[in-house]
Amino acid sequence: MILKAFVNSVGDHIEGLCHTHPKPYKPIVPNEAVDNCERTHEAANGHKQKTNMDTFDDTGMMVLVCRHDIPLFFANIDTLGKQQKYAVPLLKHFVSLIPPAATIAVLYDVGCVLDRSLNLV
């Protein structure tokens, strides 16, 4: 399990980067398509609360699995909305444990949005 403190520190770092000037970036996928993906992805919709936050501390889990579908790491989702603060710490932790020359592939349902965000900062 990825510690909540680590998830929150990465989330704070991401939030801080959102207030900086973006790097020059030539997208492979047009921004309009990524914007539409971000807008229509139901799990990222912060206005659709699916669980009672007064009753539950967590609203879900973000899990990093290997290619054999074996869970490697997970983080509790405890805030609503479209937040990359869960996927990024899982990836950061995983990358910290593998050799620098290792090749990884990431499959993520809103990977286009994450890719654009990472390229802009």
> Is residue 54 scored above 70 in pLDDT?
no
Q: Which whole number is the average pLDDT over 83-112?
A: 90
Q: Which whole number is the average pLDDT over 78-98?
A: 87
Structure tokens at 112: 């286009």
Nearest to 91 by CA among 4, 28, 5, 7: 7
Write down the H helix ranges in the chain: 4-17, 31-40, 87-97, 111-120
Length of the chain (residues): 121
CB 75 within 8 A of CB 86: yes
Q: How far apart are CA 90 and CA 121, in angstroms?
A: 18
User: What is the domain partition of the chain in residue ranges?
Assistant: 4-120
The structure's pTM equals: 0.74
More confident residue, 30 or 44: 30
